[in-house]
Structure 1
Amino acid sequence: MSSSEQLPRNEQSTEQHAVTRRLKAPYLSGFILRIMIFLMDYIPGVSSYLFWNAGLKALRKLNVNDCPTLLPLPLPKETFGIEESKAVDGLEIFEKQKDLRQKNYYSSGFLRASDFHEAYLTKRVTPLQVCEALLIKIEESLKCNPPLKAIINYKRDDIIAQATESTERYANNSSLGLLDGVPIAVKDEVDVNGYETNVGTKFINVGNPATSDATIIDRLKKKGAIILGKTSMHEIGFGSTNNNPFVGTPRNPYNTNHYPGGSSGGSGVAVASGLCPIAIGRDGGGSIRIPSSFCGIYGLKTTCGRFSDHGLFPLAHSVAVSGPMAASVDDLALAYYVMAGKDPKDPNTLHQPLPTLRGLYNTNTLSDLKIGVYSTWNKQVDNPAITTALSNFINELKLRGAEIIEIKIPELEEARIAHLLTIGTELTTTAKRYKDNLFSCPTRSNINVMKLVTASDYFVSQQIRTRIMRTLTNLFNNQVDLILTPTTAITAPKIYPRALKHGEVDVTIISDTLRFIQLANFSGVPAVSVPAGYDENNLPIGLQFIAKWYDEATLLRIAKTSEEILGNKRRKPSDKFWFGNYVQEVSENFFEESS
């Protein structure tokens, strides 16, 4: 790539007193990338130089005496003042607040599960009619120019069978609830019965489909959700753009010359383009929140141990959790509540408090909430539109009574390095089961670099995890209920055509997408990304709220508030890359009667 093709990059984050260091290295793609892979394979010093520059030198200078934390499971719920009772706010909250939801919801064309449900109940349309129309839209999304590459593996007969069963339930007045007949797409990292779990590769589990559903998928199906199939993802989750030269790179429907973010990029595109109101992702280093931010939707990274890992491909055990991505907060909350909870097949879920949606619609006043902002950290963004959006939201939150408190989070740079070493080591350990040359060039580059991590490096990283968890415990116990940051330091980066065939290595883009993301993964706390506007190129901007362990309810409440703050400023992609009108096409009076 010539210098004139490089994205403009603000050097603000490299100032002397920066909270986290901005990584910089030459951009690599095409023939130059392949040459670099060859050198890394045969000249170990090349990998050593790149890794040393990424922060390994700084890590090895640390003198840390804390005990290591290998899995960031929360402390006992009593530590955070969470009182569990038998009476929790569950799905009935949607019925109680139906009128309020209609009044405060700004759809901009995006449909919710409740819209599908009410259309089915009133017989204006059936799940079978909807899915027959949707199948045409999926095909169109794969044939448009450029193809969106969102849902890349689907089975027509299976979708029709699910829709037929749902249609019969509605005909017999035996609906299973709000999710019955609602289409949901699933990241190719989660087992769905009858589908291969390829995790974004061209070889893993090929010819070996899953024989059962992951627990979270089983729970969705038991509520009548129609599983559409698998969405594209970054190869084994080892990247943040969703560039994938082997199975196809999905496109951002707001601007198809830009990435959707990864590694759950296909799920983000499926929701943002209107193919489905809900999709499932998995987040080990922002893989739900990054594409949610870039695609202008809502994405929830849950507490470590809140969702069952049974039936999920083992990529990065200590940092990755599954979660919902949705066009609306109602659906984010709905999917969360259905999938969350204890599972005997995953012992890490057994000590959690009952999930609740308590307070979801308490948005008029936030006087009971203290929201922390670390201004020095939040200023480390590359796009001034992100700073403006953050400032506007802070002002709106203040108007609703929230107390904004300036905070500091020490050792963020150390936590960044430790997270990179942890997720990289865990992904590479999985990748070692397979031949290196089966992976794409960018994945091979990452594997080569991570092979240099020693047992001591990994151990020190887990000691740093103990320290950062202690810091957050103190913050949430004594100062704030939530922490507010940008989701990413940039909006969706540009796709360069030469990067599509063999992939690319852009260390700076990775650094900018992960800057605000890694803290939640490394410490195990939940976080949500919410749309907050658009930049000058019509690319969505996302903001992130972080809460204490188990407190997804407060995150969903603040997300609902954020949805109201954005209001009618929200907009859908251009008609060329919008496929969410299939219900309207089947039932012309759908929108008029359901509004």
Structure 2
Amino acid sequence: MPSTGTLLTASELVAAYSSGELSPVEATRLALEAIEERDGEYNAYTLVDPEVALDHARASEERWREGNPIGWLDGVPASIKDVFLTQGWPTLRGSVCIDRDQQWDADSPVTARMRENGLVLLGKTTTPELAWKAVTDSPLDGITRNPWNPALTPGGSSGGSAVAVAAGMGELSVGTDGGGSVRIPASFCGIVGFKPTAGRVPMYPPSPFGQLPHAGPLARSVDDVALLLDVLATPDHRDPSALPPPIGTYREAVRRDVRGLRAAFSPAFGYVDVDPEVAQAVVSVVAMLDEAGLVVEEADPGFADPIEAFDVLRSAGAAKLLDTFPEGSAERIDQGLRAVWEQGRTYSARDYLDAMAEQAALGIHMGEFHTRYDVLLTPTVPIQPFEVGHDVPAGSGLRDWPQWTPFTYPFNLTQQPAITVPAGFTSRGLPVGLQIVGPRHSDDLVLAVARLVEEVQPWPTGRPAGPPR
């Protein structure tokens, strides 16, 4: 792994600003150098704006010099997925069908909160077209690659964000997760990725996929995720489903003592085939949690695979969105997305309502489950990263991406908070993720359990920014 980039966590970076050891301008220049040096191979960024980034870094440096930073992450280099509106930058969502030459004069809530808290926006990260799948390639931006092995996928749809953070091209990023799209790439890239409770991070414009997609932070430590969630979890009047401000701060709640709490460990949900090396890494870290004082019991949540309801909701949403695209778009979009579009058009209002009823029933079921267990532990993804250029592993016989990520999308249906943290490596040196799921509104609890994982299983050097050498 090249030497440029700080490879510090955001928390370490802010401590360096406070002590005068490093400045926001220096950190931003290092991040930009890392992008220049590495992104030609990884393709994590669709847009980088060094001039704007350095202007913001200079303003942050002046605030630190005067002792008046405007937030806990003032001056930290960060990126945002190219699905969030960003004033002055186009939001093309991986599509050649969106007009670049239009007015881009609004910030999404995510972008606005990051600016207000002094983060230095380096640019926008890659996504599959309209964030529709769990790998990251698009007609607009091409293929994004995993920094642990560039022949393999980083996952998606927030793959650019995960790669940027894992490869040291900025300390923080924000992605979206409509079926695992923060957690999958975070797991494949060896970092932390959090899907908060639905509504915890306001979204605008409204998603045609309803409340399946959540916005969430990606970082190299749980502390950093908590700090960024404090920035993002501020209500915005443009999202009528946004939750009220949290009581207290996540940066404090993450240090909550969770020893003695009850955790269910479901290694396979009773119906998932899990790669043996993935299973072993997860079992190992779960045993460490039990030894550390989290009371772990093997127990499945006891639901049937909700993939059919998920497919109805996501494909109906895709059809609604794509029906607004210009004539001729069907021939220009990702052809896998085109198939989802066409499938979505076949569903009736009753099909959609039936799927929503199944979604509600699953949420109630998991609410009951969490009266017995504080959190649920699972593998994040049951497979290892596979070759780029494919939506499913070559030769697997699978039809579509949700079939290889059955641990993630159920919790978009239930709107529960879920985080992935590094659990270990396979024999090929590829990261494995542990998923922690809590009841709705227990974002603080999920973060605290995730931090315990970091304590019992420290990631090599504490900085998962590249393959072991």
Return the TM-score normalized by structure 2.
0.91
Structure 1 stretch displaced more, 332-341 or 375-384: 375-384
- Pick closer, same or farther for the CA change 1:514–1:205 going to 2, 3 Å: farther
Contact 2:235/2:242, CA 8 A, preserved across alignment: yes
How do residues 153-168 of structure 1 correspond to structure 2 at under 5 angstroms?
153-168=47-62
Contact 1:305/1:352, CA 8 A, preserved across alignment: no
Structure 1 residue 233: Cα displacement: 0.4
- Pick closer, same or farther for the CA change 1:353–1:128 going to 2, 3 Å: closer
* Of 259, 267, 274, the match for 1:366: 259
Contact 1:299/1:528, CA 8 A, preserved across alignment: yes
Contact 2:183/2:380, CA 8 A, preserved across alignment: yes
Structure 1 residue 244: Cα displacement: 2.1
SS of 1:347's partner is coil
* Of 431, 435, 440, the match for 2:322: 431
**Structure-1 separation of matches of 2:457 and 2:270:** 20
Structure 1 residue 313: Cα displacement: 6.6
**Structure-2 separation of matches of 1:191 and 1:557:** 31
- The aligned counterpart of 1:220 is 114
How do residues 480-499 of structure 1 correspond to structure 2 at under 5 angstroms?
480-496=373-389
- Tell me if 1:320 matches 2:208: no
**Structure-1 separation of matches of 2:319 and 2:364:** 28
Contact 2:9/2:220, CA 8 A, preserved across alignment: yes
Contact 2:79/2:172, CA 8 A, preserved across alignment: yes
How do residues 37-186 of structure 1 correspond to structure 2 at under 5 angstroms?
110-143=7-40, 147-186=41-80
Letter in 1 for 2:458: G
Structure 1 residue 574: Cα displacement: 4.1
Structure 1 residue 465: Cα displacement: 1.1
Letter in 2 for 1:278: L
**Structure-2 separation of matches of 1:273 and 1:377:** 32
Contact 1:303/1:526, CA 8 A, preserved across alignment: yes
* Of 230, 235, 256, the match for 1:342: 235
- The aligned counterpart of 2:3 is none
Q: Aligned residues: percent identity?
A: 27
* Of 512, 521, 524, the match for 2:412: 521
- Pick closer, same or farther for the CA change 1:483–1:351 going to 2, 3 Å: same
**Structure-2 separation of matches of 1:378 and 1:114:** 39
* Of 435, 438, 450, the match for 1:547: 438
How do residues 395-544 of structure 1 correspond to structure 2 at under 5 angstroms?
395-413=287-305, 415-434=306-325, 435-476=329-370, 478-496=371-389, 507-508=398-399, 510-544=401-435
Structure 1 residue 208: Cα displacement: 2.3
Contact 1:262/1:291, CA 8 A, preserved across alignment: yes
- The aligned counterpart of 1:257 is 151
**Structure-1 separation of matches of 2:451 and 2:243:** 28
Contact 2:318/2:344, CA 8 A, preserved across alignment: no
Structure 1 residue 235: Cα displacement: 0.8
Higher CA-based Rg: 1
Contact 2:233/2:246, CA 8 A, preserved across alignment: no
- The aligned counterpart of 2:85 is 191
Q: Deviations over 1:125-167 (max 9, x none)?
A: 3222332333232122233xxx211122022221121111112
Letter in 1 for 2:195: K
- Pick closer, same or farther for the CA change 1:355–1:210 going to 2, 3 Å: farther
**Structure-2 separation of matches of 1:249 and 1:287:** 16
**Structure-1 separation of matches of 2:271 and 2:307:** 17
- Pick closer, same or farther for the CA change 1:506–1:187 going to 2, 3 Å: farther
- Pick closer, same or farther for the CA change 1:455–1:410 going to 2, 3 Å: farther
- Pick closer, same or farther for the CA change 1:169–1:323 going to 2, 3 Å: same
Structure 1 residue 575: Cα displacement: 8.7
Structure 1 residue 319: Cα displacement: 0.4
Structure 1 stretch displaced more, 354-363 or 241-250: 354-363
Contact 1:243/1:249, CA 8 A, preserved across alignment: yes
Contact 2:27/2:77, CA 8 A, preserved across alignment: no
Structure 1 residue 475: Cα displacement: 1.3
CA RMSD in angstroms, aligned pairs only: 2.4
Structure 1 residue 301: Cα displacement: 0.3
Letter in 2 for 1:346: D
Structure 1 residue 335: Cα displacement: 0.3
- The aligned counterpart of 1:381 is 273
Letter in 2 for 1:301: K
SS of 2:161's partner is helix
- The aligned counterpart of 1:565 is 456
**Structure-1 separation of matches of 2:142 and 2:271:** 34
Structure 1 stretch displaced more, 440-449 or 295-304: 440-449
Name the one with the larger helix percent.
Answer: 1
Contact 1:220/1:338, CA 8 A, preserved across alignment: yes
- Pick closer, same or farther for the CA change 1:225–1:398 going to 2, 3 Å: same
**Structure-1 separation of matches of 2:60 and 2:244:** 34
Matched residue count:
456
**Structure-2 separation of matches of 1:504 and 1:248:** 22
Contact 1:184/1:278, CA 8 A, preserved across alignment: yes
How do residues 263-342 of structure 1 correspond to structure 2 at under 5 angstroms?
263-310=157-204, 312=205, 314-342=207-235
Structure 1 residue 172: Cα displacement: 2.0
Letter in 2 for 1:178: W
Contact 1:337/1:355, CA 8 A, preserved across alignment: no
- Tell me if 1:237 matches 2:131: yes
Structure 1 stretch displaced more, 256-265 or 467-476: 467-476
Contact 2:206/2:239, CA 8 A, preserved across alignment: no
**Structure-2 separation of matches of 1:401 and 1:378:** 26
- Pick closer, same or farther for the CA change 1:505–1:319 going to 2, 3 Å: farther
- Pick closer, same or farther for the CA change 1:207–1:398 going to 2, 3 Å: same
Structure 1 stretch displaced more, 539-548 or 400-409: 400-409
**Structure-1 separation of matches of 2:253 and 2:232:** 19
Give the unaligned 5+ runs of structure 2: 1-5
Letter in 2 for 1:361: R
**Structure-1 separation of matches of 2:118 and 2:324:** 37
**Structure-2 separation of matches of 1:238 and 1:181:** 32
**Structure-2 separation of matches of 1:206 and 1:179:** 31
Letter in 1 for 2:413: F
**Structure-2 separation of matches of 1:505 and 1:196:** 37
